[in-house]
A and B are shown apart, each in its own frame.
Chain A
Amino acid sequence: MTIADDKIGELDAHGTAGVTAVTTTALGLLLLFAQYSVVPIDLQDKRIYLPGTQDTISRPLSLEISEIDLFNQVNRIYDDLLKNQIELDTDFKRVLYGNLWNLYT
């Protein structure tokens, strides 16, 4: 479990405003795929509400991307690097370090 996941879990358990913000962000991204830029009917009658979101496809995506989304990406990369990290094979290392001086550009 990542640090962010852990924190999100804590917030989730208590139902705080923090988890509301996280949920809102996730919902925002989901809605992005369910919206349309042009409504097929005239919406002069303000009592009519369509299930999608009118006209927001042209808004910057960053309206839907928050700091926690960025942080989650950084965290994902950190986890990926940690999980997949490997040492250089001994033979490869020997060849590399034995020729360093000549390999410098």
Chain B
Amino acid sequence: MESLHVSPENDIFDQIRVFLPKYLTEEQTRHLFSELSKFPENLNFYTFRPELQEPFLQGDGWRGFVVIDFLTGDRKEVSGMILSNSCDVSPETLRDLPVNVLFAPLIQLSRYAEILRQAGKTEEQIENQIRNIKKQYVTSIFYVPQCPGSIEDSIILLDDIHAHPLQDFLGRQRRSLFTLNQYAFYIFLLKLSIHFSRFREGIDRFDNAA
């Protein structure tokens, strides 16, 4: 394979560009910088551009997914957040085989707090837990702030992932709940990355001879 020589200074900027949105205008760059710099207090998570409400994008919230209880086989229609890559679930993409939309059901934070109270947890314990959740510090939970007129403060569990066949979902009564803006999408990707991909897993996987 032919090697490509890249000077260190070009290399780092090229690598950085890989992680940033293409075609950022000056205004968008300034805005994104401003939004990122306000994490974790920044709860400005949504874009309301009409043209982004119809396609299925990674991080979108939709009403109309179906979860199936593994033990009982019961089914339930729920609201959920798309974890699949946007390209993988685009209805416009021609495919040889059917695909599934991976999603995680939304859970209202207030209802979670309520069952914690019923379980005997103190208000202080609950508040501490919710504070950490809202700062996105709980590894297996992604916090989704309220979206006026659409959802209350909610969470998804990154280890509670379900699959819904795309074709079935397209044929159902469904409703867009929210679309993440660029800032929130980055936070979401970082959470996914930390939860699923850890280079430092702390396990020696080498053969003994190596």
A-side interface residues toward B, CB under 8 Å?
A: 4, 7, 10-11, 14, 16-19, 21, 60-63, 65, 67-71, 73-74, 76-78, 80-82, 84-89, 91-92, 95-96, 99-101, 103-105
Contacts and interface: CB of A to CB of B under 8 A. Distances in A.
Given A60-B26, A67-B17, A73 B36 contact: yes
B13 interface: yes
Given A77-B186, A86-B138, 19 more contacts: A7-B12, A17-B9, A18-B9, A60-B30, A63-B26, A67-B20, A69-B33, A71-B19, A71-B20, A73-B37, A78-B190, A81-B137, A86-B132, A88-B129, A88-B138, A89-B129, A96-B115, A103-B115, A105-B78
Q: For the side of the interface on B, what is the size category?
A: 35 or more
A70 B32 contact: yes
B47 interface: no
Contacts of B67: 104
A68 B9 CA distance: 12
Given A62-B26, A105-B79, A105-B108, A81 B36 contact: no
B135 A77 contact: no
Contacts of A70: 16, 20, 29, 32-33, 36
A65 B32 CA distance: 10
Contact of A88 (B8, B141, B160, B187): B141
Nearest to A89: B129
B116 A77 contact: no
Scoring A10, A16, A17, A105 by chain B CB atoms within 10 A of each residue's CB, the highest score goes to A105
Given A88-B140, A105-B78, A67 B16 contact: yes
Interface of B: 7-9, 12-13, 16-17, 19-20, 25-30, 32-33, 36-37, 39-40, 67, 69, 74, 76, 78-79, 105-108, 111-112, 115-116, 119, 121, 129, 132, 135-141, 151, 154, 157, 160, 186-187, 190-191, 193-194
Nearest to B160: A100
